[in-house]
Chain A
Amino acid sequence: MIPLLQAAATAGTHPLTGTIAEWVWLVPLLPLLGFVINGALSLASVFHAGPGDPALAHGEAHGVDDGGHGHAAAHDDDAHGATGDDHHPVVRHRFAGVASIVGPGVLILSFLLAAAIFLAMRGAGEMTAPFIQRYFSWMPVGDMHIDAAFQLDQLSMMMTLVVTGVGMLIHLFSVGYMQDDPGYPRFFAYLNLFVFFMLVLVLAGNYPLLFIGWEGVGVCSYLLIGFWFSDKVNSDAGKKAFIVNRIGDVGFLIAMFMMFANMHALDFTGVREGAASLPFGGIVVTTICLFLFLGCAGKSAQIPLYTWLPDAMAGPTPVSALIHAATMVTAGVYLIARTNVLFSMAPVAQLVVVIIGALTAIFAASIGLKQWDIKKVLAYSTVSQLGYMFIGVGSGAYVSGLFHLVTHAFFKALLFLGSGSVIFAMHRAYHHTDNHDDAQDMRNMGGLKQYMPVTFWLMWIATLAIAGIPPFAGFFSKDEILGGLFARAQHSTIASASLFGIPGSGWLYFAYLLGLVAAFMTATYMTRMMIYTFHGPNRTGEKERGHLAEAPWIMTGPLVVLGILSAIGGWLNLPEFAPLGRVGALEHWLDPVVGESTARVMAGAGETSASLEYTLVGVAILIAVGGIALAWTRLKPESLVPKREAAPEEGFEKVLVNKYYVDEIYDKTIVEPVVGVSRGLLWRGIDAGLIDGVGVNGSAYLARFVGWIGSQFQSGQLGTYAWVLVAGVLAVLGAFSIR
């Protein structure tokens, strides 16, 4: 190994050659191995659909209650459908022990390896070029050469650490949360497979391989949303997620086709080089970016394709935490950051990204204000925070968007896992007393802080972090996004561009305003969630109250780690006005990947003045505090009644509870016409009419008709046969003589 190292050094190769970074392929392969083992365990045991998942058996009562919400009503506890008797003996899966070692085990190994590679990168000093490992030639077609190649650079390293780190914690949490589920190894198999595909996504060295990961995580998302597939609501939610994502994927594919047509490359370095020959702000690069953003809007749940994410809460809560909050839905943000060279050349596309992100942020936040399901609040919060990330990466402040991605992964995973722990406790309490109430509705909770103090305190940390209270993680990242946006509204290539005749700076100021309002709403709905869940009197029920208890350590342990990360995550990238440690560490780390593009967008603009910066930060803090104060003073948990006694909402509140009726509008304007055309024209007209009628049956009728004609010659009359024979002879002779 040492001579090899020396040879590499003398040949001027990449500084990572010969280090542990060569083993980067093992990082995704370990979860794949876990998938194979857990999948085999799952197949080796007969599936039995008994009760046992932690949030089970309230399905029937629930389905009636939520009937008015259309197909959006999907919850953890709809699983399997209640059988009426809740007191089956709990049957653990017979391979549960092996699965609980293999499932989280591979993730721990994977994370340790990723951490070792990270240390090797730190030790290798300044690394400007990405470390590319080619494994085999995947698609050599004509002049297109696509390798199965992994690219290790600062951005993919960051994402790998987030995916394996947060993934590891959520795997550990799942050991407790899913312990009594009959599909226990299957759950870990899917979860491992998801991590594998997610790592392929972030480590891929070219767009087609990234797309494989992109589709793979989509499949796993589908499988895990519909994990309790015996309930139709859950499998419908899975299908919805899958189909809505397809719309975005078409955009991604078209973008790839255009990239190859215009730059003759699909690997990241090739596109980076090829982009140099395209004109700045040209129609080609703008179109590519817009189509890429369509893909991102699907995967990362932005307007107009966000509707699948709230429904995706039908999956088990750890799935919501891992896939639909921390990792998969941020893939769109990653993709834009990865394509920063192109986006920095297309100010109009960047404007679109910022505006859509800002609209999504405020739209989802306003829906979150009036949701009663604890997971739905968090789901809309996720959509809203993803909008923030798109404001960041869209405005060319790539580091701020990615910074928010990381901190959001910490505090949103914590919030989801905390809500999982609450649902776990609620469900267990209801299970003991054979109660069929909704274990996820906040109107049935209240006053939980005395029963589950650990979860309570950790959830407050995450709430303060997402609301943007210093010094918690979300404050720094959100402030950086808004500050970066304001700076770009003053002077940047985006501000100089225009969209629909309105100058870019106007749009950016507008987005800034929307972002502030969304931040206010975020603080409000998160405080509302905390008040209704943990404060005030308990509304669970007299008999159930005694059974409420804190979750086991395997679940609270990961929560504590995430709580620490949510509290100190801001130290990753401290702003200059708060030099509590190394300033701008993440910015410095990501500089080789996005620095050039960021500078290009800023177009030589200087730093914003210190006084302005202090003003902006002050406004942000005021807004966060104001949002919390508003919720704290106005909301009275004492006057809240349990779900079954609650009166329906009136007026605008009703619109918010029903999510602006977007699902209904989509149903009427898109789904029903498509289904109608499919049923009337495509099925009855083309399939049954043309293909079956004319094609299949028609050819059969034709053959039968020709056969009938032939059969008419077989009369049995010897005379006729003889005539035909003679006629044939004469015809042959005649043919010969004519020649």
Chain B
Amino acid sequence: MLAEALFFSAVLFAIGVVGVLTRRNAIIVFMCVELMLNAVNLTFVAFAQSYGAAGQVFVFFVMTVAAAEAAVGLAIIIALFRHRQTVDLQNINLLKG
């Protein structure tokens, strides 16, 4: 059971990584990040089956942070769109030294 759960979460994580790396739309990159977080949540739950409830508690923390992050992140994306009329990450390159 554990092996299947881990394999599934690894696949989910990999899909999330590929999405973050390849997509240019900020919303989709954001969703892929969420996918990666949830893949990690799945491993936590799977390991909690054999190592105690601490993993399940951690999932709640992750979900809380993810919710806060979603609120802030989406707000930033909306602000960006208002400002630049686009959410294409190739056009948003102010983040440099």
Contacts and interface: CB of A to CB of B under 8 A. Distances in A.
A165 B14 CA distance: 102
A726 interface: yes
A714 B96 contact: yes
Interface stretch (A349-357, A558-566, A716-724): A716-724
B92 interface: yes
Contacts of B94: 716
A717 B20 CA distance: 13
B3 interface: no
Contacts of A719: 21, 24, 89-90
Contact of B95 (A711, A716, A723): A716
A714 B97 contact: yes
Interface in B1-49: 17, 20-21, 24, 29
B50 interface: no
Interface in A702-726: 711, 714-719, 721-723, 726
Nearest to A721: B95
A711 B97 contact: yes
Interface residues of B, number: 13
A715 B93 contact: yes
A723 B97 CA distance: 18
A711 B97 CA distance: 8
Contacts of A711: 97
Given A723-B21, A726-B17, A718 B97 contact: no
User: Taking each of A711, A715, A717, A719, which has the highest tally of chain B beta carbons within 10 Å of its own beta carbon?
Assistant: A719
Contacts of B95: 716, 718, 721
B93 A716 contact: yes
Nearest to B89: A718
Contact of B21 (A715, A716, A722): A722
Contacts of B93: 715-718
Interface of B: 17, 20-21, 24, 29, 89-90, 92-97
A405 to B, nearest CB: 78
A322 B92 CA distance: 86
Greatest chain B CB density within 10 A among A711, A718, A723 is at A718
B20 A715 contact: no
Given A714-B96, A714-B97, A722 B20 contact: yes
A722 B30 CA distance: 13
A650 B20 CA distance: 101
Nearest to A716: B93
Nearest to A717: B93
A726 B17 CA distance: 9
Contacts of B92: 718
Interface of A: 711, 714-719, 721-723, 726
Contacts of B89: 717-719
A722 B93 CA distance: 13
Interface centre among B17, B24, B93, B94 (most CB of A within 10 A): B93
8 contacts: A715-B96, A716-B94, A717-B93, A718-B29, A718-B93, A719-B90, A722-B20, A726-B21
A722 B92 CA distance: 14
A717 B21 CA distance: 11
3 nearest interchain CB pairs? A716-B93, A716-B96, A714-B96
A716 B29 CA distance: 16
A67 B84 CA distance: 82
Nearest to A718: B89
Given A714-B96, A714-B97, 6 more contacts: A717-B93, A719-B21, A721-B95, A723-B21, A726-B17, A726-B21
A711 B29 CA distance: 25
B71 to A, nearest CB: 20
A542 B20 CA distance: 109
A715 B21 CA distance: 15
A711 B96 CA distance: 9
Nearest to B92: A718
B97 A717 contact: no
A715 B94 CA distance: 9
Contacts of B29: 718
A717 B89 CA distance: 7
Contacts of A717: 89-90, 93
A716 B93 CA distance: 4
A673 B6 CA distance: 84
A716 B96 CA distance: 5
Contacts of A722: 20-21
A582 B96 CA distance: 101
Contacts of B97: 711, 714
A314 B92 CA distance: 79
Nearest to A714: B96
Nearest to A711: B97
B9 to A, nearest CB: 16
Nearest to A720: B93
Contacts of A723: 21
B28 to A, nearest CB: 12
Nearest to B26: A718
A726 B32 CA distance: 15
Nearest to A723: B21
Contacts of B17: 726
Contacts of A716: 93-96
A723 B17 CA distance: 10
A436 B93 CA distance: 82
A582 B17 CA distance: 116
A372 to B, nearest CB: 77
A715 B93 CA distance: 7
A419 B95 CA distance: 86
B20 to A, nearest CB: 6
Contacts of B20: 722
A714 B95 CA distance: 8
A716 B89 CA distance: 10
